Amino acid sequence: MKRSAIARSALLLGLVVLCSLSAGAQQSGDIFGFGSRRFYIQSAAALKTSKGFFDLPGREVGKDDKGNDRLLQVFEMRDNEIKDVDHTFVFADSREKTAGAYKIRFASESKYGLRYAFTTGKIESTILVSDVVLKYVGDAKWKIYSSDGKRVFALDKKEVENRTRVVLKEDQNTRFNEWVFFDAATKKAFVPAQAGAKPAPAKSGAGPVDLTEKFENRDARDQYLQRTAAPDFARHNAGKAFQSYYASLPVADQWTAIMETVNAASQNGDAAARRAFYQALSEVEFKSADSMPTKLLQGSFRSSIGKKASEERDPVCQRLLRSISERF
């Protein structure tokens, strides 16, 4: 009888340990749900063009004819020229426990993948694959961080022309540091299922905040809009720094910043905070279209914010968002 009780206890203990290990593995595993999908990776600066796709020189993923590892670059990829050999990638499991940690391997030859060098910033194809940390920044765009979380995969120059190198750089708020992952099977941009989840309601906190300085960095701005409570924003914006910041931007930058602000603020779980942000936006002096491209964009911005209004459950926020959409 005692032996049976001991056996049951041992079994239960083993199950508890197993569940704990499984939970831990799930946390540090494929949190974005990439699975075995193959992806084309394109620069966010080249969207709606055929340029800016991850590529290796030549037709192989290993070393070149001289025995050198191939350096990562971007290249134009027309539909009739798609090569799965060095254009498609998979996000493989990493042994790192950091959330969002992966290894970027070639779909056609998974023993090879991408490795970066902290000293030179170069990124190459090799068997010794580096760990990266992926961060979804919204609108189907991603940042690819080094394992220390301080540097990102970025275009060496602010251009998407063929053979522009992809290197490791300090993180900055620019589309040349952002990437879009296109599912090779569907040709659609991949958006993680968790992207629609709303953060917990914002909590009030003390401390001075320079909104102008914070809003210069998109990541910092998005985090502020997603997490800040209404009383804190009222205190930080006592001098109308929020409105002044948007009023100071050129027309195209202003419209883009307003759209990004609405997207980020909509994820704040506190309705009072969303009301405060939208009210402040409605007080900004919107600039008029100053060129044909901006005139063509007016309808798109109006439609996008109108869609946000239809998705909003709070009636005050709905009214404010409709008012903002009509300003374009």
Average pLDDT over residues 104-126: 90
Instruction: Return the pLDDT at 8.
Output: 42
Record the pTM: 0.52
Residues 142 and 91 in one domain: yes
Shared-domain flag, residues 98 and 139? yes
Answer yes or no: do 215 and 186 share one domain: no
Supply the pLDDT for residue 24. Answer: 36
Domain count, the chain: 2
Task: Tell me, yes or no, whether 104 and 239 share the same domain.
Answer: no
Q: What is the pLDDT of residue 22?
A: 35
Predicted confidence at residue 274, as pLDDT, reads 92
84 and 229 inside one domain: no
Dist CA 324 CA 263 (whole Å) = 13
- In eight-state DSSP terms, residue 91 is E
HEC string of 135-195 equals EEEECCEEEEEECCCCEEEEECCCCCCCCCEEEEEECCCCHHHCEEEEECCCCCECCCHHH
Highest mean predicted confidence (pLDDT) among 5-19, 68-82, 272-286, 299-313 = 272-286
Which has the closest alpha carbon to 54: 67, 66, 70, 65?
70
CATH code of the domain containing 97: 2.80.10.50
If asked whether residues 155 and 56 sit together in one domain, one would say: yes
For residue 120, give the DSSP letter: T
Q: What was the pLDDT predicted at 164?
A: 94
Residue given tokens 């084309």 in the structure block: 40
CA distance 190 to 74: 19
The answer to whether position 24 is within a domain reads: no
Mean pLDDT, range 181-206, rounded to an integer:
67
Do residues 173 and 220 both lie within one domain? Answer: no
Cα–Cα distance for residue pair 97/27, rounded to 1 Å: 8
Q: Specify the DSSP class assigned to residue 108.
A: S
Q: Is residue 130 within 8 Å of residue 96, measured between CB atoms?
A: no
CB 166 within 8 A of CB 160: no
Per the domain annotation, does 260 fall within a domain?
yes
Of 135, 159, 192, the domain-final residue: 192
Q: In whole angstroms, how large is the CA radius of gyration of the chain?
A: 23
Which residues constitute the domain of residue 218?
Answer: 211-325
Assess if residue 309 is contained within a domain: yes
Are the C-beta atoms of 270 and 314 separated by less than 8 Å? Answer: no
Q: Does any domain span residue 71?
A: yes
For residues 134 and 263, membership in a common domain is answered with no
Token pair in block for residue 168: 């490791």
Q: Are residues 222 and 308 in the same domain?
A: yes
Domain boundary (136, 164, 192) is at 192
Question: Is residue 60 in a domain?
Answer: yes
In our burial notation (b when 16+ CB lie closer than 10 A, e otherwise), range 219-234 reads: eebbebbbbbbbebbe
On whether residue 204 sits in a domain, the answer given is no
Angle in degrees, CA 137, 143, 149, rounded to 5:
110
Mean of pLDDT over the chain: 80
pLDDT tens digits, residue range 286-317?
888 777 776 777 778 888 888 889 988 889 99
The verdict on residue 172 lying in a domain is: yes
Q: Say yes or no to pLDDT of 229 above 60.
A: yes
Question: How far is it between the farthest Cα atoms of the chain?
Answer: 87
